[in-house]
Every structure is written in structure tokens, then in C-alpha cells.
Chains A and B, each alone.
Chain A
Amino acid sequence: MRALLPLPLLLLLGIAVAGPHLTDEPISPLITDPTLDPARIELGRRLFHDPRLSRDASISCAFCHDLARGGVDQRPVSVGIDGRQGPLNAPTVYNSAYNFVQFWDGRSKSLEGQVGEPIHNPVEMDSNWEQLLPRLAADPDYRRDFARYYPKEGLSATSVAHAIAEFERSLITTNAPFDRYLRGNWDAVDQRVLQGYRLFKSYGCSNCHQGRNVGGNLFQPMGVMRDYFAERGNPSNADLGRYNVTGDPRDLHTFKVPSLRLASLTPPYFHDGSQPDLDSAVRNMARYQLGRDLDADEVALIIEFIGSLVGQTLYGGD
């Protein structure tokens, strides 16, 4: 257990000793967007679960982003069409609306822009719009609903992407115990969670994992204090991270900081899916990003805190 800092140092750091207040805390509660169009959400939900989006109509978006399993497939790296394996761990689709960019390397700035990528990716769905749109248009239900809910565009790449994105924007996990605590329900979490939260802040985890999504709003290099890739071995092209997008050497091994909202439900961890459980993920984060070794009690408390970030959804799981 860590000792308390001497009071002068506390003041120097400006650490607030009082209870949480919405605006003072690095983490704020998730809220839903009431302006979304329910009809388009429903349309997007159907597309999201529709295997016709892949070349041989074998997998849908939900194949890798299972809404009942925290919005992921819980595999180290995802399996696409014909059993082909991708290089990266699938991130959760829940709360993705609050990610400032999409993908580990941030190559898509919007959810709409993201939709086309897995459709075209040869190891994922391996399809394209030219093949996919006529296939969807052959379904009278889609024809009718797109004409009704997208009277201007009709059924097009834009409207399909928008409907799926609209559905994804509705996947917000609200009323997590910790959110309820932040909103003033002091009994929503127990003392162990609060201890974990205090550690989470004092170790500096909350410098990157902050905001509504507890992450998902900045880039960070992997392995600040120790060389993660040298120690892991077996380097791959995907390990280069954002460098693959910008070509700037300063972006080598840099990734979007992932949201910790549903971390308890979405093993394995890291972009390469190398961490089988939260215990090793937390321990290795401290090791490579902080240069610190945490003791088992601390790791357990932080994991309890992360568990309190899980909110409720409308679609299976919790």
C-alpha cells in the first residue's frame, strides 16, 4: 500500500482532498444523445447484424463485435472471411461514438468513415460497395426502409455507412456504478472501488485514461519507460502504429489510448491481444508506461475500479 504524501507536497500538487465533483474529476459520466433518429438506428442495427456485408455473406459486423460480449470477439486478433486472421485485437463497438478517431492507429476520423474499412479489408469482409449495394437493394425491406428514412440519398454507400454509424452512436453504456457515484449517489460503489480510483489517479493512469470514455481521446507511444516491442519480440507491421498513417518517425509505435469503459468485459488486451487478463494488462501498463512494478493488492483494487465503469446497454450483456 502506498504511503500518504506529506501535506506540503499535496498542496504543491494541488490535489483536491474533497469528495468528487463532476467538473473536477478526470472522468465524467457517459450520457446518451437524444437527437438520434430511432428509425435509422433500427435500420443500422439490421445492417450491423447482416452477413451480406461480407463477400461470401458469411460474417456480419456483429461477428467480431458481439453486442452480448462487450462489443468484441474476445480473441487475441480477429478472424475474418475464410478464417483469415487480422493483425490486431478488435476494440469494442460500445461507446465508440466518444472515441476521437477510430482504429488503433486513428486512420478514420469518423464512425461513418470507419464503416467502409472492414468491408473492403481482404482479411475482414473482403467486399466492396459495388458488390454489396445491389445485394442489399435486392431485399425489398431495405429498399422500402431506405426510401422512407433516407428519402434524399436512397440506398447508397453514404446512407448505409450513416445508418450503421447512427446505430453505433446509440451504443452507449450508461449508469455505470461509478457514473452514478459521480452524479452524487455515494452508495453506488464500495470503498475498494474508491481506493482503486485513488490509485488510478495517483499512478497517473488518469492522465491518459480520462474523459467520458476513460480514454479514446489522444495518442500515446507504447513503451515509454521500457521497450515493449524488443521485450515481446516477433515484431509486425501493425506494431508501427500511427506511423503507418502519417509516415512521421515521431509516430512510431504510437496508438490511440483505448477506452477502459468496458475493459472488464473485453479480454484479451493491448493492440496485439497479448494480455490474457486484466491483471497482466494493468501490471504491464505500469511496467512499460510508468517503469513501476505494482503489488498484487494495488492491481486488484485498480481492477475493481475498472469493473465499476461498466454501464448498462439495451443489447444483451451488461
Chain B
Amino acid sequence: MAVQHHLPRIYYLLMAFVLSLGVFYMYYRADVLSEHNATMAVLSRLNQLNSGLDEQVLLLYAYRLNHFDQIVTTRDEIIQLNRTLHDELLDSYGPSFALAAQRYLESSSTKLDQLERFKSLAALSGTSLRDLPYAAIDFSDGLGDPRGQSLMALVAELFSYSLFHDEEVHTRIEERITTLRLGQWEEAERQSLDDILRHSRTALRQRDDLIKALNSYLSLNTGDTIDRLTEAYLGHHAGTTRNSQRLATILLVVTLLLFIGLALTLRSLQKARQGIEQTWEQLSDAIESIGEGFALYDAHDRLLLWNSNFTQVYPDSLHFPPEGIRYRELLDRDLHSGLYRPDISPEAWIELHLRRDGHPLLDQLRDGRTFQVSNYSTTEGGRVTVMSDITARLDVETELRKLSRAVEQSPVSVMITDTDGRIEYVNEKFTEVTGYAEEEVLGRNPRVLQSGDTPRDQFRQMWQALTHEGEWRGQFHNRRKNGELFWESASISAIRDAHGQITHYLAVKEDITERKRAEEELHLAAVVFETSSEGIMVTDAGNRIITVNPAFTRITGYAAEEVIGHHPSLLKSGRQDEGFYSEMWQNLEAGQRWEGEIWNRRKNGELFPEWLSVASVRDGEGQVRHHVAVFSDITKRKEDEEKILWQANFDPLTHLPNRTLFGDRLEQALAGSRREHWICALLFVDLDRFKAVNDTFGHPVGDQLLVQVSTRLRETVRESDTVARLGGDEFTVILQDVSGDAAVALVAEKIIQRLSEPFEIAGNEIFIGATLGIAVYPGDADDAGGMLRNADLAMYQAKQEGRNRYHFYTESMNQQALRRNRLEADLHRALERNELEVWYQPIVRADDLGLHGAEALLRWHHPENGLLMPGEFIPLAEESGMIGVIGEWVLEQACRQASHWQQAYDQHLRISVNLSTQQRRQGLDGARLAELLTRSGEGASLVNLELTEGMLLEQSEENIRWLESFKALGVSLSIDDFGTGYSSLSYLRRFPFDSLKIDKSFVTELSPTSGDAALVQAIIALAESFDLTVVAEGVERQEQLDYLRELGCDLIQGYLISQPLPPREFTARFIAHTAP
């Protein structure tokens, strides 16, 4: 057997060798393949670059290249690849490749040299051609005679020659040069002419040189050398491939042969071993099957073979001596160990045993067994000993008596049936367990106990085991007499007679129902505890940790031995206050389980959120024995939820809302607008020239640009507005609660202006722009989809009209925006074009209607729209910031007018001028007004400033100082539109006003019976108490005047007296005729 193992070892070695060869081959192939790809890439790139260079040269020849950067780039790459070819590839693919490569490199090097020469010549020739016509015109302009024409003809022919190579033209040009040189010229002309002619000759020569250089360049045929190089490489590669394929085939064949050889050898070995084993087994079986002890000795009386029955003779059979012991030694041992015949001497006993006559001898063991021993001689001169134990036979009767007593009193059930399964005997325990009395079951089949739950297969196996092995152990699910089910562990064995025939079956059974149930439950609980992914912690009544499971360790980082015996508070994070825990304990003590999210601290100090569920375990008396806490780590879930939420809603590049979130926001904005009757606008922003930026500077710069664009967009709108990126260079802006389309247009303009400013990225200054489409709710669409579609449509409309502009979806809004734009532009010029004019409405005393002053009112003579009222353009002026200039202009005009009336007519009229909130922001204050007054030569006493209540909402010190700065000049102040705004008595006290103006809305409805009468009366009373003069404006009817007089109003203004009038008319009607 030993030799059999060596042979395959050689085969294994061989196979390992072949396998490693195979693996090596695979790697080699992969290597060769990637190298092949790399080399082919170099060769094909060279070919490409070579053609590219030729193309550039031809473009250059045709004067179609403006610069050489592209050529230089191509050249640099060729040089680099040539270096790679020379340094890395030249010697790698055999001599023919090396030769071809050498040829190519020489050709390429020559070509690159010629390229430089060609570039020089092309630049030279181009320079001459470029300048020559100008030089000729400069010169011939001064001549204006046929000589000039002849010079121009020369230039024209030079150009013709440069485009179409024609020898005849060449000759003609030379003739023309000669003719011109020999012509009649003045000395001054001669100098310039010579320059031009030299220039022409040079241009002609340079063009010829260029053609020569091109021909020489083109004749190089570097392309062919690349082709031949590629062929040489492919030839070599094919050879390599063939070789490696041949190697692969050989490897395959060798491997196959080895495998076949191995299989054959293994098979023959197997056969031989099987033969030997069979013989051996047969002999062993034969001896083993003998019922008596058997031993075989060789001719020298040495032990050769024995069976197990033989060894059983010896009480310490484990230490039975190995084969080869002599029979005589064995006998000595026997004597020693206790085999004896008390009736004869040891010598005689040995003598008897050494005989081989087959005479049976009786030997008795100290342990009480009795053997019958016979010795026979074999044909080879050896010995056969046969020993049979006859103790049993002797003892059987005694034993039986003892056993039956034991069975009767056994704590387990015992049942004996005959071979047909009829019950012959049951013990007391049996009747106790099953509930059947002895007489009820005797003679019956044990099937009466069957519950029907035990599968058929189990019975079949049981019978098979009993028949073959004589014994079966297993469990039954049986039924007691009272119908109750129970588990029984049974050991059934066949009882055989002396002939080995089965005569009875003995079943010994135990009721294990209780045990089984407890075991199962324990097992289940243990598995759950160990494998649960949730951490489990059990504490005792004193809240000390008794045990934790592996998931606990995994989550908290604490090993079991670190926490057992400790209080669970070592996990406390401190994030929950004591109240939280005491509430939890109250719950638990009330017998409820507690469940919730809680922050704990891991061993490494890290805080983590967990979902915790705690329950108390109580004993029979209701005392709490344990607390069981089960928790899961929800850190990752929480993080994932947040991350997924973010990713689903935001653009990762710009961190702006993405299309999804934008959709939600738009829906919300529309819903809000519906509810609150707001106006909501959607601006669709598309960047202009973004693709060009990407192409020129690359995507990283493009991405940077998008980020900067998003920042600018965010800065342009309010915090509450939404800026989103829909993808690519498309952005959207949602404006909620806007005052109207004018405000929307203003935002659109701001966006366009901001995005048109240069961007600075990686040191490059980049210019883009933006085109906007606008949809407005309500009006343009009712739902988000419609809004987006219409804004997009409007954006395309804007694109079609040219970039860097915006377009409303609704035509009328668009018109309005356009009109507004035009109006704004017009307003910018209105001052220069003298289109603005200040008109005056008289303010008279209520009692005698004598002229007291006038209110200055602005009018705009628009060249197309006619006369415009302030309401039509003042808001625009305020938005565009022009109010500052216009307001000051009005003030100055009013001052000049007042001054004029005073000087020309000696009329001391106080002129009221309206102030706008914006003007204050534009820097109008006392100092500025003082300048204006000085400039117009006017005293402050002629000026009254009118402010609306809205401007005085904020009763700040600043406001008061501002008003007092005017007051300090001697200017008077009045409150306009009194009663319409946020009237508050306190500002009347705090601010230094001189008069107040009752709003015309109160005056219009004025009659002794109307409600307004009481109001006006109250206002007048109020004014008196604050010592303010009262002006009523909008007085149109006599009865209003009468009533106002009655109420004690001081001054009157309105159509009843006069409309606002241009200065000239005002002067004519109110000043000139009253003048002294």
C-alpha cells in the first residue's frame, strides 16, 4: 500500500507545473495584448498627426492660417511620440521594425525641419503680399497717371501669381518690374518706387521658394514610412501571436496527456487495492462471525489472528497483547490474571492446554465467568484455539429473577410485545403514564397509544432498525387514555432466542413532554438572543446589568464583561434630562413597556440615536425581577434619510434645489398665491454662450461658472424666493408675492445685468449673458406644469429676438414691459430734451380768496404719448433711481420761479414742492437744499416742502434731525394727504410742521350732513390746537368752499380756483394783473 501513494505525487507535481505554465501563459498573453494596443495607438496617432500636419501646411500654403499655434501643438505631439518610439519601442519588435522605425524617424525629423522652413517662408511671403498693395496705393495715389495704373497692374498680377502658379505670369511680372524701373521718374519718386519694386521682386522670389518648399515637403512621403512601420510592426506582432499560439497548443496537448495517464494509473491502483481489501474483509468477517472466541497461531505458536469474542475472555481486553505473542506466554498471563482451574496444579493446567487434540477444557475466571476451551492443530503446524463462554447459560435463571423485579419497579415505562406486536407485559409505570390498566392493554397492539402525529416514515424506520440492528431509539408523540398528548422517549430492542430469532420486542419509555417543551423554549430564546441584530440588555431588580448580547457589544462598543454588574447609566449621553428618565421609570413601574427614540453614548464617546424598548419581568408574586431593554442603532437610518432627502431635492454641484424640489416649491407658491391672492412669477433663466465656455475652457471651468452663476442669482433675489437649477445651464427663479409685472421686470433686468458682468475663474475672465422667459400667476397658467411650459416658451421667444433679454409669456405684459423700458429710456433723456415742465396750482386764502402761494406740479411733454401726469412716470423714476435728479430739478425750477415772481412782480408767493421717500435715500437733506437755494438765488422763506404721512412712520431721531435740517434753513413743512395714511397725533407733536393738507377725498364728499364733515371739522380743530395752518385741496364747488370757510379752514386749493397752469399762464392769470 505504501508504494501506491508515491506514484500520484509525481503526477501532482507535474500537474502543478503544467498549471503554473498555463497561468504564466495567460498573464503573458494579457501583457502582450495591452502592449499591442498601446503600440497600435502610438502608430495610428502618428499617422493621424502626420496627415493633420500636411493639412495645416496646405492651409498655410493657401494663406488660410491666421496663426501657427495649431501647427506647433501638432508638432509638439509628434516630437513627443517620436521620442517614445525611439526610446521605448525601437528595439522591441525585431530588426525589420527597427529599420522601418529608423527610416520613419529620419523622414519625420527631415519633415519637421522642412516644416520650420516652410513656416518661415509662408510668413515672409504672407507679409509681403499683405503690405504690398498698401504700399503701391500710397505711392500711386500721388501719381494718378498711367504709371500708377501700371504699378497697380503689377500688384494685381503678383496676387494672381500667388493664387495660380503660372510661368507666363511670372515672366510678365519680371518684365513689368524692368519696365517700371526704366521709366521716367523724379528723384523723390525713385526712392519709393525702388522700395516697392524690391518688395515685389522679393514677394515673387518668396512665392517661388514657398512652392519649392511645399513640393519638397510633400515629396517626403512620411505617411508611407508610417505605413511601412505599421506593416513591420503588424508582421512582428503576427509572428509573436503565432509563437504564443503554438506554445498554447503544446501546453494543451501535454496537459491532456498527463491527465489521461493519471486517470489510467489511478484506476488500476484502485482495482488492486479493492481485491486485497475484499479478501481481507472476507476473512475478518468469517472469524468475527464465529460465536466463540477464536485465535490462530503459527507454527511457532505465535498469535496471528483473533476475534473480538476471544479478547472478551480477558478482563482488561483493552490492553490485549498484539499479534506475535506466544501461546505459552499467553497461558502464563492467563494464570496470572485469574484464569484458573482450582482442581489441578498450574503445571498440569498448562500441560493440558498445550495439547492440540481438540479436547474441551473448562476454565473459570475470577470474575465468575466459565469458559470451555479446545485446541486444534492446523495443517501448517500452527494452532487454533476456540473458547466459548458458558457462564450465561449457568447464570440465566438467577438473572431473570433479579431483572423482572427491577423492571416491575422501574421509574420508566416498560412494555414487552410478541413479534406480532401484541402486548404481553407492561409495568406499573406504564399504566401510570398512559392511564391504561394492565388488563386493558394486555393482548392489544401498542397502536392504541398512537396520536397520529408521528409520521409513517418513523414507524417504517423503527421496524427496519429493529429487524436489522435489533434496536431502535427515538421519540413518540403519543396519546394517553384521557386523550392528552405526550412525548415519550423510547428505546425498543428485539429479544432473540438462542437461534437469533426474534421472539419479543422490549420497549423502555420515558415521559419527556415537560422536558422537551422547556428545552425548545430555552433553545429558541438563546438563538434569538445571540443572533438578534438589536442590542439586548438584561438587568436585575437593582438595575445592574446581568447579560448583554453580541449586538449590544457591536452597537455600544462595550464588551459583555465590561458592563456586567454595572448600571446602564454608563451609556447615558446627557442629551435627555432627568425628567425624561423618571417618566420612563414611572411607565415601567406602572407595568407598561416603554418605547421611544433616545440618544446614548458609545464606548468611544460618540453619541448615537437608538430606538429603545424596555419591559419589566415580574415573578409570581408580581415583584420585578429583571428589566429587558432591546434597542437598535438608528444612526445610519437617520443619516441615510437625511442624505437621500437632500440628494433627491438638491443639485449636488450648485446646492440649489433641483427639478424635483423646484416642482414642489412652485406648487406651494401657486397654492399660496391662490389662497392669499398674491401675484407669483416664474422666471426661466437660460445662460448664453455657456457651451462655448465649456468647449474653450473645459468642463471643470464650466462647473465653476455654474456655481458662480447660482451664487449671483441667489444674491439677486429675496431670501424667500426660490432659485433652482433644472439641469445644464437652465435655472429658474420663483418670485412669490410680487407687486406686479413691473417689479418682475425689474428683477429680470437685475438678473441679466448681474450675469452679464465678467466672471473670474482660474485666472480667466469669462463673459456670458442670460436670456429670461417669464410666466405670471394669475393669468398665464394655473398649474406648475403650465407655468414652466409658458416660461420656457417665453424664453425661446426672447432668444429669437436676440440674446441677453427677457420676455413675458403674455403679450400685453410684454408690451407693458417694453413700454416701461422705453419710457424709462425716454425719461433719461427727458431732462436733456427739455420735455419736463413744472406747472403751478394756486393756493388762496379761504376768506378773501387772495393769492397765498402755489403748489409745484410736474408735467412731462412726451414726444409720442403727449402730456403725462406724475402718476404715470414718478413711480418709474423712483424705481430707476432717477427721482433724485428729477426731484432736485423740480425744486430748483420752483425756486427760480418763486424768485422770478418776487423780483419781477414783487409777489411773495410760497411754493409747495412734494418730496418723495426716495429722494431722502438719494441724499437730499438740509445742506443739499441750501446749495440749491443758493444756486437759484432764492430765499428759503419762499419754499414749502410737502411730505406724506407714510414718510414719517418711523419717528426716529434721524427722521427728526432730517426734517429739522430743512427747518433750520427757514423752509416751511407741511403734511400732504392728511387723513389717508397712518395718522398719528404723536408725530404732529414731534415733527416741526407748519401746516397740514386735508386730502381731497374728504373734501369731495363734503356737505354739512356728510360723515366727512365731522372728520374735517375734527382735523381743523386738531390743527388749531397744534397751531398748524390748514389747507383744503380738491375744492371744486362753491358750497364746499362755503362750508370750509364756515369750519375755519385757512387756505383753499382746487379747480374752483384754477387747474394747475404752465408758468406763463399762471403769471398772466394770477400775478400780472394783481401786480402793484
Task: Indicate, yes or no, whether A interacts with B.
Answer: yes
A5-13, A70-78, A230-238, A275-283: which lies at the B interface? A5-13
Q: Knowing A5-B137, A211-B67 touch, does A290 contact B127 (C-beta < 8 A)? A: yes
B872 within 8 A of A: no
- A27 at interface (Cβ–Cβ under 8 A)? yes
> How far does the Cβ of B1066 sit from chain A's closest Cβ, in whole Å?
47
Contacting pair B141 A174 (CB below 8 A):
no
Question: With A183-B767, A221-B120 in contact, do A292 and B762 touch (Cβ < 8 Å)?
Answer: no
- Cβ of B767 and Cβ of A219 under 8 Å apart? no
State whether A3 and B763 are in contact (beta carbons under 8 Å apart), knowing that A28-B67, A218-B116, A221-B120 are contacts in the complex. Answer: no
Query: Could you say which residues of chain A place their CB within 8 Å of the CB of B113?
Result: 246
- Contact string against B for A residues 202-234, beta-carbon threshold 8 Å, 1 for contact and 0 otherwise: 111111101110000111110011000000000
Q: Is the CB of B68 within 8 A of A289?
A: no
Cβ–Cβ contact B120 & A254, under 8 A: yes
For the complex, give the distance between the alpha carbons of A175 and B69 in Å: 19
Chain A residues near B951: list those with CB within 8 A: none
Contact residue among B129, B159, B202, B764 (Cβ-Cβ distance under 8 Å from A224): B202
Are A220 and B72 in touch, CB under 8 angstroms? Answer: no
A249 at the interface (CB under 8 A from B): no
Interface centre among B67, B120, B126, B128 (most CB of A within 10 A): B67
B67/A291 in contact, CB under 8 A: no
Contacts of A212 in B (CB 8 A): 67, 69
Hey, which chain B residues are within 8 Å of A98, CB to CB?
69
Whether A217 lies near B68 (C-beta < 8 A) is yes
A32 near B: Cβ within 8 Å?
A: yes
Stretch at the interface among B584-592, B697-705, B1004-1012: B697-705
In the complex, A157→B845 CA distance in Å? 101
| B766 CB contacts on chain A under 8 angstroms | 183
A184 adjacent to chain B (CB < 8 Å) = yes
Q: Does B117 contact A (CB under 8 A)?
A: yes
Q: Say yes or no: is B133 at the interface (Cβ < 8 Å to chain A).
A: yes
Known: A3-B137, A3-B141, A174-B763. A217 touches B72 (CB 8 A): yes
* In the complex, chain B residues whose CB is within 8 Å of the CB of A291: 195, 198-199, 202
Q: Which of B78-96 contact A (CB under 8 A)?
A: 79
Cβ contact within 8 Å between B124 and A31: no
Number of interface residues of B (CB under 8 A): 46
| A28→B697 CA distance, assembly (Å) | 13
B133–A9 touching, CB < 8 Å: yes
Contact call A218/B123, Cβ cutoff below 8 A: yes
Q: Is B76 an interface residue (CB 8 A)?
A: yes
Cβ of A257 to closest chain B Cβ, rounded Å? 8
Interface residues in B747-793 by Cβ distance below 8 A to A read 758, 762-767
Are A175 and B765 closer than 8 Å at their CB atoms?
yes
**B131 beta carbon closer than 8 Å to chain A:** yes
Verify if B567 is at the interface (C-beta below 8 Å from A).
Answer: no
Cα(A300)–Cα(B123), bound, Å: 24
Partner of A34, one of B120, B126, B698: B698
Q: Does B1026 have its Cβ within 8 Å of any Cβ on chain A?
A: no
Determine if A26 is an interface residue (Cβ-Cβ < 8 Å). Answer: yes
Q: Is the interface of A mostly helix, strand, loop or mixed?
A: loop
User: Contact at B763–A172, with CB atoms within 8 Å?
Assistant: yes
Contact of A109 among B69, B79, B764 (CB under 8 A): B79
Q: Which of B119, B138, B697 has the most CB of A within 10 A?
A: B119
Residues of B within 8 A of A292 (CB): 131, 135, 195
Q: Which residues of B contact A22 (CB under 8 A)?
A: 696
Contact B765 A185 (CB under 8 A): yes
CB within 8 Å of A: which of B612-655? none
B123 to A32, Cβ gap below 8 A? no
Query: Which residues on the B side are within 8 Å of A184 (C-beta)?
Result: 689, 767
Is B138 a contact of A32 with CB atoms below 8 Å?
Answer: no
- Which residues of chain A are within 8 angstroms of B202 by Cβ–Cβ distance? 224-225, 291
Q: Is the CB of B130 within 8 A of A207?
A: yes
Which residues of chain A have C-beta atoms less than 8 A from B137's C-beta? 3, 5
A219: chain B residues at CB < 8 Å are 116, 119-120
Among the listed B119, B129, B141, B765, which residue makes an inter-chain contact with A218, where contact means beta carbons less than 8 Å apart? B119
**A25 touches B (CB below 8 Å):** yes
For the complex, give the distance between the alpha carbons of A182 and B616 in Å: 81
Q: How large is the interface on A (under 10, 10 to 19, 20 to 34, 35 or more residues)?
A: 35 or more
Chain B residue contacts of A203, Cβ below 8 A:
130-131, 134
Q: Given known contacts A26-B66, A224-B124, is B764 in contact with A100 (CB within 8 Å)?
A: no
Whether B138 contacts A3 by the Cβ 8 Å rule is yes
A31 & B72 in contact (Cβ 8 Å cutoff): no
Assess the B66–A2 pair: CB atoms within 8 A: no
Min distance, Cβ A248 to any Cβ of chain B, angstroms:
8
- Chain B 561-604 interface residues, beta-carbon cutoff 8 Å to A: none
CB distance from A182 to the nearest CB of B (A): 11
Contact of A174 among B119, B698, B764 (CB under 8 A): B764
Give every chain B residue within 8 A of A221 (Cβ-Cβ): 120, 124
In whole angstroms, what is the CA distance A159 to B124 when docked?
Answer: 40
**Inter-chain contacts of A26 with B (CB < 8 A):** 66-67
Cross-chain contact A34 with B701 (CB below 8 angstroms): yes
B1004-1042 interface bits toward A, Cβ cutoff 8 Å, 1 = contact, 0 = none: 000000000000000000000000000000000000000
Question: Across the interface, which residues of A come within 8 angstroms of B75, CB to CB?
Answer: 100
On whether the beta carbons of A210 and B66 are closer than 8 Å, the reply is yes
Residue contact B69 to A217, C-beta cutoff 8 Å: yes
Q: Is A250 an interface residue (CB 8 A)?
A: yes
Bound-state CA distance A179–B765 (Å) is: 9
Residues of A within 8 A of B124 (CB): 207, 220-221, 224
A-chain residues with CB within 8 Å of residue B71 when the two chains form the complex: 217
- Taking the nearest CB of chain B, how far is it from the CB of A73, in angstroms? 26
* Residues of A contacting B701 in the complex (Cβ-Cβ under 8 angstroms): 34
Taken residue by residue from 120 to 157, chain B's Cβ proximity to chain A (1 for < 8 Å, 0 otherwise) reads as 10011011111101110110010000000000000000
B198 pairs with A225, CB closer than 8 A: yes
> Nearest residue in A to B137 (C-beta to C-beta)?
A3
Q: How far is the CB of A102 from chain B (nearest CB, A)?
A: 13
B128 touches A204 (CB 8 A): yes
Is B66 a contact partner of A24 (Cβ separation < 8 A)? Answer: yes
Given contacts A31-B697, A174-B764, A211-B67, contact A289 B159 (CB under 8 A): no
Residues facing A in B928-972 (CB within 8 A) are none
Q: B residues 689-728 with Cβ under 8 Å of A?
A: 689, 696-698, 700-701
Chain A 258-297 interface mask (CB, 8 Å, partner B; 1/0): 0000000000000000000000000000000111100000
**Cβ contacts under 8 Å, A120 to chain B:** none
Q: Identify the closest chain B residue to A313 (Cβ).
A: B763
Instruction: Verify A207–B126 contact, CB threshold 8 A.
Output: yes
Question: How far does the alpha carbon of A111 sit from the alpha carbon of B533 in the complex, in Å?
Answer: 63
- Indicate with 1 or 0, residue by residue over A15-47, a CB within 8 angstroms of chain B CB atoms: 000000010111110011010000000000000
Find out whether the CB atom of A32 lies under 8 angstroms from the CB atom of B120: no
Q: What A residues does B135 contact at CB under 8 A? A: 292
Instruction: Please name the residue on chain B nearest to A180 by beta carbon.
Output: B765
Q: With A34-B700, A211-B67 in contact, is A2–B134 under 8 Å at CB?
A: yes
User: What residue of chain A has the Cβ atom nearest to residue B125's Cβ?
Assistant: A207
Chain A residues with CB under 8 Å of B138's CB are 2-3
- Nearest B residue to A98 by beta-carbon distance? B69
- Across the interface, which residues of A come within 8 angstroms of B195, CB to CB? 225, 291-292
Complex CA gap A169/B385 in Å reads 107
Does the CB pair B116–A211 fall under 8 Å? Answer: no
A31 neighbours in B (Cβ, 8 Å) = 696-697, 764
Chain B's nearest CB lies how many Å from the CB of A212?
6
Q: Is the CB of B68 within 8 A of A210?
A: yes
Query: Contact at B67–A32, with CB atoms within 8 Å?
Result: no
Q: Mark B48-62, 1 if CB is under 8 A from A, else 0.
A: 000000000000000
Can you give 12 A-B contacts (C-beta < 8 A)? A3-B138, A3-B141, A34-B762, A174-B763, A183-B765, A202-B131, A203-B130, A218-B68, A218-B123, A225-B195, A290-B127, A291-B199
- With A185-B765, A211-B67 already in contact, 15 other A-B pairs whose C-beta atoms are closer than 8 Å: A3-B137, A9-B133, A34-B762, A100-B68, A109-B79, A179-B765, A183-B765, A183-B766, A184-B767, A202-B134, A203-B134, A204-B128, A210-B67, A218-B123, A291-B202
Rank and list the top 6 A-B pairs by shortest CB-CB distance, nearest first.
A204-B127, A204-B130, A210-B67, A211-B67, A211-B69, A26-B66
